[in-house]
């Protein structure tokens, strides 16, 4: 029985790099990893916060060098996503993390695109690509990255903003977001994960985002919650990530249910599934159990994932019908 149909809207493709693929690519590319085995690497997956995770996440990317590597990475994700009920995926990638290592942006986009082009036929999954700027790099670096991406913009649906949040407010990237919007791209940004609620407000007012990634710290600001609900602003929440990165102590403490009760357009996503202990349906089942969600709430979350996507209205309608018609096999 296939899990309930869903879209995944917050997935860093580099964060789907599983230890077995990391070691296979290291061998192929002659890269020496500072871990003796896959098990030893997994032992390192205990994080005391976002920066601690990012250090490992960027260091492991050293194994990604060729178009084939990026295509294989995306194929591995898509194969797993299909088993999790994913019908549509909007996928982040971090070009600066690769160009800084001498890998051309065309290699990254070319490799990912090759896999994504095959995804509808091979996995029954449609996709979009979202190019993220690293917010701990300069505004100039983001602008240069956008220039380098211009020949490939037909492959890119949106721009995003990720990496170390605290001290790197959305307003730092006002100019590059204005250029992206002028080029017809959608805009999203990580905000209110480790950073304060004011960063969410900035993402809305300065970057004019179409979606907020994470956004969980909006719950500290009642007026902001009311605004996000009134504007039907989607929030891409990643519950297992939030626990692994110590945003909340336990899943029982996670505000997902309170966010739904406040009328927010919340979706459930996996963020960096190879590192955080689960793909998107694993996230959904984990919160269902921890927060005691009923079937109608799970159906609402699945529906929200399509509503909040960048699909065309007709495509959304077809997916929403499939969500409505889904019969739970006795348990989510």
Which residues within the stretch 253-282 sit at the binding site for ligand HPA (CB under 6 A)? 271-272
Closest to ligand HPA by CB, 3 or 15? 15
CB 195, min distance to ligand HPA, A = 10
Point out the residue whose Cβ comes nearest to ligand HPA. 162
By CB under 6 A, residue 192 contacts ligand HPA: no
Q: Which residues contact 15 (CB under 8 A, 6 or more apart)?
A: 57, 271, 272, 273, 274, 275, 276
Q: Which residues contact 240 (CB under 8 A, 6 or more apart)?
A: 251, 270, 271, 276, 277, 278, 282, 283, 286
Q: Catalytic residue among 193, 194, 202, 315, which?
A: 193
Query: Taking Cα atoms as reference points, which of 195, 270, 268 lies closest to residue 236?
Result: 268
Sheet containing 126-134: which strands, arranged edge to edge? 6-12, 86-93, 126-134, 158-162, 186-191, 211-214, 234-237, 265-268
- Respond yes or no: is residue 40 known to be catalytic: no
Stretch that binds Zn ion, among 21-29, 95-103, 106-114, 270-278 (CB under 5 A): 270-278
Query: Taking Cα atoms as reference points, which of 138, 73, 141 lies closest to residue 109?
Result: 73
Q: Which residues contact 225 (CB under 8 A, 6 or more apart)?
A: 218, 219, 262, 264
Binding footprint of ligand HPA, residue count (CB under 6 A): 11
Closest to ligand HPA by CB, 158 or 311? 158
CB 141, min distance to ligand HPA, A = 16
Task: Return the one option of Zn ion, ligand HPA, none that residue 193 interacts with (CB less than 5 to 8 A, by type).
Answer: ligand HPA
Closest to Zn ion by CB, 123 or 275? 275
By CB under 5 A, residue 271 contacts Zn ion: yes
Q: Active-site positions?
A: 193
Sites of contact with Zn ion (CB under 5 A): 271
């Amino acid at each position: 029985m296939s899990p309930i149909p869903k879209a995944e809207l917050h997935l860093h493709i580099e964060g789907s790099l599983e230890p077995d693929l990391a070691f296979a690519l290291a061998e192929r590319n002659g890269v020496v990893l500072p871990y003796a085995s896959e098990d030893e690497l997994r032992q390192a997956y205990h994080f005391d916060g976002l920066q601690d995770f990012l250090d490992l996440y960027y260091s492991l990317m050293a194994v990604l060098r060729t178009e084939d590597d990026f295509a294989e990475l995306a194929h591995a994700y898509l194969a797993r996503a299909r088993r999790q009920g994913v019908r549509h995926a909007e996928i982040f990638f971090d070009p600066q993390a690769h160009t800084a290592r001498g890998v051309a942006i065309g290699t990254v986009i070319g490799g990912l695109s090759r896999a994504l082009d095959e995804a509808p036929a091979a996995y029954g999954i449609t996709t979009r690509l979202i190019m993220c700027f690293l917010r701990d790099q300069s505004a100039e670096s983001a602008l240069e990255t956008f220039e380098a991406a211009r020949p490939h913009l037909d492959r890119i649906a949106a721009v995003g903003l990720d990496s170390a949040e605290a001290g790197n407010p959305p307003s730092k990237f006002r100019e590059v977001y204005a250029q992206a919007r002028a080029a017809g791209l959608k805009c999203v940004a990580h905000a209110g994960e480790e950073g304060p609620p004011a960063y969410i407000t900035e993402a809305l007012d300065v970057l004019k985002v179409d979606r907020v990634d994470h956004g969980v710290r909006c719950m500290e600001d009642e007026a902001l919650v009311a605004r996000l609900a009134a504007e039907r602003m989607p929030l891409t929440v990643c519950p297992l990530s939030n626990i692994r990165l110590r945003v909340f102590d336990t899943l029982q403490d996670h505000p997902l249910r309170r966010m739904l009760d406040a009328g927010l357009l919340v979706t459930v996503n996996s963020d960096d599934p190879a590192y955080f202990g689960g793909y998107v349906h694993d996230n959904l089942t984990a919160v269902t159990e921890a927060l005691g969600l009923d079937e109608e709430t799970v159906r609402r979350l699945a529906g929200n994932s399509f509503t909040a996507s960048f699909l065309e209205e007709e495509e959304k309608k077809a997916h929403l019908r499939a969500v409505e018609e889904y019969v739970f096999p006795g348990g989510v």
